[in-house]
Amino acid sequence: MELKLDGVLIPTTTPFQAGGEVDPAAFRSNLEWWLTTRILGVVVGGSTGEAVLLDEEERVALWDVAREVVPQDRLVVAGTGQESTRATIRLTRRAAERGADAVLVQPPAFYRSAMSSGVLRDHYHAVADASPVPVILYQVPLRFSTLDLPTGLVAELSEHDNVVGIKDSRGKLELVGELARATRDGFQVLVGNGAQLYSSLEVGAVGGILGVANLLPDETAGIVGAFQAERTSEPGRLQERVGPVHKAVVGGFGVAGVKGGLDLLGRRGGLPRPPLSPLAEGDRAEVERVLGTAGAGVAGA
């Protein structure tokens, strides 16, 4: 069955207990809230989820919780990208065994100078050949320790039957349109920049995997829904609310900002895992101000 990605998926945060262990109950609570909204599904084990700071068994435990809570008519996508092809395939197969509908695979980047287009093509082909579920490429934000996937390579990979889309988090609208034009019919382009969701849909994207959707799930999903329904003024009005939250909270404060925002909304955010630092008190006030301006229901406000 074809995997449809035309909507918004939340790259979920990972809550931790006071002692630093993953908090499955808090994660379940957040999932239950997100699922009351119009989101298409969740991505568990992405950048916003501090995946690179999680043990493999912690990722697997979170996938188990997600698949238990998320109904079958919504998606669970597992982040499985590792530095070796072997490890990526192993983790991808484990995600499929745990009920993931698809996997999101970031490129190996530590040996960056050795990652030619040919090397990356072979890596992704091996993963896609071995994966029991569809593969979504992940163009990680370039401010992270990663590499830039050339459009020609993405177009080539899009011809693989088991590579169904890409999440592009570079934040460059012209590259979103370029990907939509260059890839095969049916290949689905998702964006990671919540400030550009509406404009990205206009140039060929089908949806997004958006850190800001942790905080504004219904509003972000509403942009896609209104665009699909051709309600011409509604997507722009929603984008005006979502954009500043993405820029100030996600872009400005990163994981700590998103978690602090969840706390302010009465959800389960908590502290990032070291070496990431928590949100400073002054920054927390700014997150509260931005959320309030966006009309989010800040707890106690």
* The one catalytic residue among 4, 167, 172, 247: 167
> Taking CA 268 as the corner, what is the angle to CA 266 and CA 273, rounded to the nearest 5 degrees?
140
Q: Is 172 a catalytic residue?
A: no
Q: Are strands 41-44 and 75-79 parallel, antiparallel or unpaired?
A: parallel
The Cα 301–Cα 298 span in angstroms is: 6
- Listing DSSP states for 205-239 in one string gives --EEE-GGGGT-HHHHHHHHHHHHTT-TTHHHHHH
What element of type H or E holds 164?
Answer: strand 163-168
Q: Is 140 exposed, middle or buried (0-12, 13-18, 19+ CB in 10 A)?
A: buried
The amino acid occupying position 89 is I
- Active-site positions read 167
